[in-house]
Structure 1
Amino acid sequence: MRQIRTGIAFCMAALLVLVMAACSNNAGQAKVEASTEADFRLVNSEKGEIKIPAHPTRVVGLSVVYPEFLQALGVTPVAVQNYQEEFPTYLQEPFKDTLKMGIAKTPNFEMILSSNPDLILAPAWWAGKDYDQLSGIAPTVLLPERQDWRDELKDIAAVLDKKEAAEKVIQELEDYEAKAKLKLDELVGNETVLYVRVMQNSLVLNGDQVDRGKFIHTTLGLEMIPNFPEQSPSISLEKLPEYNPDHLIIQLNKEDNAEIKQTYEDMLASPLWKNMNAVKKNQVITMGDKDWFNVGMSPMANRYAVDVVLEAFEGKSK
Structure 2
Amino acid sequence: MRGGGDDGSGAAEPTGAAGRTVAADNGEITVPEHPERVVVTDNYGVWMLFDVGLVPVGVPEGTALRTALPDDIYRAVSEATTIGVPGEPNAQAIATLEPDLILDQFYEQKTRELATIAPVVYFNWADSGSLWHEQAERVADAVNRADRLAAVRTEYRDRLAEVRETHAEQIAASTWAPVSGGPNGTFFLGSPLLTVLRDLGLTIGAGLPEEEAGFVEKSHEELEILQDCTVLVYPELFDGTLAAPTSELLANPLWADLAPVAAQRAFPLRHYGVGSYRFAIGAVDEIEAILRQL
> TM range, normalised to the smaller chain?
0.7 to 0.9
Query: For residue 298 of structure 1, what is the aligned residue in structure 2?
Result: 276
SS in 2 for 1:130: helix
Q: Are the aligned partners of 1:199 and 1:252 in contact in 2 as well (CA < 8 Å)?
A: no
SS in 1 for 2:95: helix
Q: Are the aligned partners of 1:197 and 1:253 in contact in 2 as well (CA < 8 Å)?
A: no
Query: For residue 268 of structure 2, what is the aligned residue in structure 1?
Result: 286
| Shift, 1:215, TM fit | 2.4
Q: Does 1:115 align with 2:97?
A: yes
Query: For residue 70 of structure 1, what is the aligned residue in structure 2?
Result: 49
Q: Are the aligned partners of 2:196 and 2:284 in contact in 1 as well (CA < 8 Å)?
A: no
Give the fraction of aligned pairs with identical amino acids, expressed as a percent.
Answer: 21
Gaps of 5+ in 2: 1-13
Deviations 1:115-158 (Å, cap 9, x if unpaired)?
Answer: 332221223x52245312x1222232233445133332232233
Query: For residue 143 of structure 1, what is the aligned residue in structure 2?
Result: 123
Distance 1:56 1:280, change over 3 A: same
Distance 1:164 1:265, change over 3 A: closer
Which residue of the other structure, out of 39, 59, 75, is the alignment partner of 1:60?
Answer: 39
CA distance in 2, matches of 1:109, 1:118: 14
Q: Are the aligned partners of 2:176 and 2:232 in contact in 1 as well (CA < 8 Å)?
A: yes
Distance 1:117 1:197, change over 3 A: same
Which residue of the other structure, out of 53, 58, 72, is the alignment partner of 1:79?
Answer: 58
Q: Are the aligned partners of 1:197 and 1:252 in contact in 2 as well (CA < 8 Å)?
A: no
CA distance in 2, matches of 1:148, 1:165: 19
CA distance in 2, matches of 1:172, 1:80: 27
Query: For residue 17 of structure 1, what is the aligned residue in structure 2?
Result: none
| Shift, 1:85, TM fit | 6.3
Distance 1:273 1:63, change over 3 A: closer
Query: For residue 13 of structure 1, what is the aligned residue in structure 2?
Result: none
Query: For residue 191 of structure 1, what is the aligned residue in structure 2?
Result: 174
**Aligned residue identity for 1:59:** V
Q: Does 1:235 align with 2:224?
A: no
| Shift, 1:98, TM fit | 2.0
| Shift, 1:102, TM fit | 6.0
Which residue of the other structure, out of 69, 85, 89, is the alignment partner of 1:88?
Answer: 69
Query: For residue 249 of structure 2, what is the aligned residue in structure 1?
Result: 264
Distance 1:281 1:161, change over 3 A: same
Q: How does 1:1-318 map to 2 (within 5 A)?
A: 37=15, 39-44=17-22, 45-81=24-60, 86=65, 87-89=68-70, 90-101=72-83, 103-123=85-105, 126-132=107-113, 134-145=114-125, 147-200=130-183, 201-206=185-190, 211-216=192-197, 218-226=198-206, 232-244=215-227, 245-251=229-235, 258=244, 260=245, 263-264=248-249, 266-267=251-252, 270=253, 272-288=254-270, 291-293=271-273, 295=274, 297-314=275-292, 316-317=293-294
CA-atom RMSD, angstroms?
3.1
SS in 1 for 2:20: strand
Q: Are the aligned partners of 2:64 and 2:74 in contact in 1 as well (CA < 8 Å)?
A: no
Distance 1:253 1:73, change over 3 A: closer
CA distance in 2, matches of 1:85, 1:102: 13
Distance 1:84 1:186, change over 3 A: farther
| Shift, 1:242, TM fit | 4.4
CA distance in 2, matches of 1:227, 1:156: 32
CA distance in 2, matches of 1:277, 1:153: 37
Q: Which has the larger radius of gyration?
A: 1
CA distance in 1, matches of 2:135, 2:180: 26
SS in 1 for 2:86: coil
CA distance in 1, matches of 2:279, 2:260: 26
| Shift, 1:92, TM fit | 1.3
**Aligned residue identity for 2:46:** P
CA distance in 1, matches of 2:263, 2:242: 28
CA distance in 1, matches of 2:104, 2:189: 31
SS in 2 for 1:292: coil
CA distance in 1, matches of 2:30, 2:206: 53
More helix as a share of residues? 1
